[in-house]
Amino acid sequence: MPVPRNIIEQIKQIVPPLNGTLHKGQSGRVGVLGGAMDYTGAPFFAAMSALRLGADLSHVICAPTAAQAIKSYSPDLIVHPILKEDAPQDKVKKELDSLLSRLHVLVLGPGLGREDYMQNYAKVALNLARSKAMFLVLDADALWLIGQDLSLVKGYRRAVLTPNVVEFKRLSEKAGVDTSVPPDEKAAEVSKRLGGVVVLQKGPKDLIAIDTTGEAASLAESGIRHVLDEESEKVKEVIEVDVEGGLKRCGGQGDVLSGTVGAMLAWGKCYEDGAFGDKSISASRLPILAAVGGSMVTRTSSKRAFHVEGRGLVTQDMIPYLAKAFAENFGEDLQAGERGRL
């Protein structure tokens, strides 16, 4: 089933115009927290994918053991090696607080790992991001983190969770979803039990779900204000993205997805703040639009790269195709800036 046309049109509304009216940073400032001794590729893939989709600035917040490698991959990334294992936590928290205040979205998880000190820093960053009403993308070992304490994300409607098959099964069990719930309804049930977070369940077809009808959903906790009719905010919506993808499922494709969703959420924050657009789309709707858009673009870039590389496809082959994938789904004119929107 194709993504509904009205969803695609709404996604187009949150894409920054390329008409000369915006200054640097108003097309999105993305942060990726992850990267330790064993993991340097994942945060690079996420951060670079955000840039290649069209975010203005992309920051990687990592451990010093990963910083030099990540810096060597691209001079376009801004790398902050502040997550030191032996540093006083108050000092790192202050640095994180300052850094997050300059960003529109935080992507947590790519290359995070499960070492205690990295998990603790991720928890600090998540709580700081919530206090600033930032948009969040949680992937990989950030999903492991919230699985240990669901309250970290419960009720926060500015979050998008991007679990794969194994992560989704674990998250469903932690959330108490009954095994009798039909497979195509489980993502919505997880969303409901977690208070209306958006769940992007990765698979042969991506399922993106939100259910804010439960008691745990909170507009106030999410920093969503100026809502005239709170009853209208109680929704259940499941969107299937069956856009063709590549036949090779390479490790790291999920990092590309977290980066593209992060970029679209950063655009959404700029839209919410009035940098462009008419604010006709509620802030509570931005996470599901970003999840759908990121899924469509990532799957299409995988398809295009696979057509060239075939069985030898690796993640870095996908990134150069993100711009063309965006144009294929949302229009060449929007990608190339031939049609400006005020």
pTM of the model: 0.95
Does 155 appear as a known binding residue? no
| Coil/strand/helix, residue 39 | strand
Is pLDDT of 72 > 70? Answer: yes
Query: Residue 338 domain-assigned?
Result: no
* Strand 135-138 relative to strand 29-33, pairing: unpaired
State the CATH number of the domain containing residue 261: 3.40.1190.20
Rounded Cα–Cα distance for residues 324 and 59 (Å): 24
**What pLDDT was estimated at residue 222?**
77
Is pLDDT of 56 > 50? Answer: yes
Query: Residue 245 domain-assigned?
Result: yes
Query: Residue 259 domain-assigned?
Result: yes
Q: What domain range includes position 89?
A: 5-13+24-330
Express each pLDDT in 42-55 by its tens digit.
999 999 999 999 99
Rounded Cα–Cα distance for residues 255 and 65 (Å): 20
Q: Give how many domains the chain has, as a whole number.
A: 1
Query: Which DSSP string corresponds to 272-297?
Result: HTTSSS---S-GGGHHHHHHHHHHHH
Rounded Cα–Cα distance for residues 239 and 4 (Å): 8
Does 92 appear as a known binding residue? no
Query: Residue 18 domain-assigned?
Result: no
Query: Residue 337 domain-assigned?
Result: no
Does 340 appear as a known binding residue? no
Express each pLDDT in 246-292 by its tens digit.
999 889 999 999 999 999 999 999 999 999 999 999 999 999 999 99
| Coil/strand/helix, residue 203 | coil
Does 248 appear as a known binding residue? yes
Does 205 appear as a known binding residue? yes
Query: Residue 195 domain-assigned?
Result: yes
Question: Over pLDDT 90: what percentage of the chain?
Answer: 87
Rounded Cα–Cα distance for residues 322 and 98 (Å): 31
